[in-house]
Amino acid sequence: MKHSAMQFKQFAFKTSQVNDDGTFSGYGSVFGNVDSYNEIVAPGAFAESLAAIKASGDPLPALWQHRQDEPIGGYDLLQEDDIGLKVEGWLLTGQVVRATEAHALMKRRVVKGLSIGYYVLADSWDEKSRIRTLTKLDLREISIVTFPANELAQVDAVKSLLAKGQLPTLPQFEDFLREAGYSKTQAALIASKGLKELLSRSESGSNNSDALSALRTFKLPS
């Protein structure tokens, strides 16, 4: 069961990995690397998802900039190795205008990123290191992107969770507050004094509808 909004992670690929026929290769994710969100993808996180994709018989979509209405190709190879999620894809050059444009930009290193779109199905949180380990992911697409995921993605993720009647994790809410303009100290204080109590109530089965309502109407600094 999905328990978060779709999230994104971006990785760069090299020009040598983009071929004249529109095929390309790279890594959609790297294991054990702490990213800007203090998250690590654990080995095996994609295993079930990759098995489901293979069983479907359909290629995983290659999208342009995470736009669902702009598929530009797909992926023939998706596998986990010692480094991470290794992918080999193809662009529909000569058939889809955007794919032809993307290929030209990739060859010249103007566009140089692969970004996975996924749902988090299982994770763990280390209170001491404040690192979140993603242990089970539902991979939905891999996009060709110019820049890393939108810096406001964390804000959108928190809003999406609240809209569904769910609570964000403590680090998600702290990042949300930081991006909204609060200092690191203020964000930690607000989250620990408010959200931490709500999470405790949620885990104990208490009704938190009033608290969720308050969070949804939370006022950001102007």
Listed as own residue / partner, the contacts of 67-71 with beta carbons closer than 8 Å and 24 or more positions apart are 67/143, 68/141, 70/98, 71/96
Q: Given a cut of 90, is residue 162 above it in pLDDT? A: no
Instruction: Name the residue type at position 78.
Output: L
Q: What total number of domains does the chain contain?
A: 2
The model carries a pTM of 0.66
Mean pLDDT of 76-80: 94
Domain assignment of residue 195, given as a range: 155-216
Query: Which of 98, 144, 129, 116 has the alpha carbon at shortest distance from 53?
Result: 116
pLDDT per position as a tens digit, 147-161: 754 444 445 556 556
The closest alpha carbon to 160, from 121, 67, 152, 180, belongs to 152
- The per-residue pLDDT for 119 is 93
165 within a domain of the structure (yes/no): yes
Q: What is the 8-class DSSP label of residue 47?
A: H
Same domain, 194 and 133: no
* DSSP strand pairing (39-41 vs 131-145): parallel
| Among 2-6, 117-121, 124-128, 184-188, the least confident range | 2-6
Given a cut of 90, is residue 104 above it in pLDDT? Answer: yes
Same domain, 23 and 103: yes
Confidence of residue 9 (pLDDT cuts 50, 70, 90): confident
**Same domain membership, residue 58 and residue 115:** yes
* Final residue in a domain of this structure, among 104, 123, 149: 149
Of 149, 169, 196, which closes a domain?
A: 149
Instruction: Classify residue 2: in a domain, yes or no.
Output: no
Are 184 and 121 found together in one domain?
Answer: no
Question: Within this chain, do residues 81 and 182 fall inside the same structural domain, yes or no?
Answer: no
Q: What is the mean pLDDT of residues 38-67?
A: 95
Give one DSSP letter per residue of 17-43, joined into a string. Answer: GB-TTSEEEEEEEEBT---TTSEEEPT
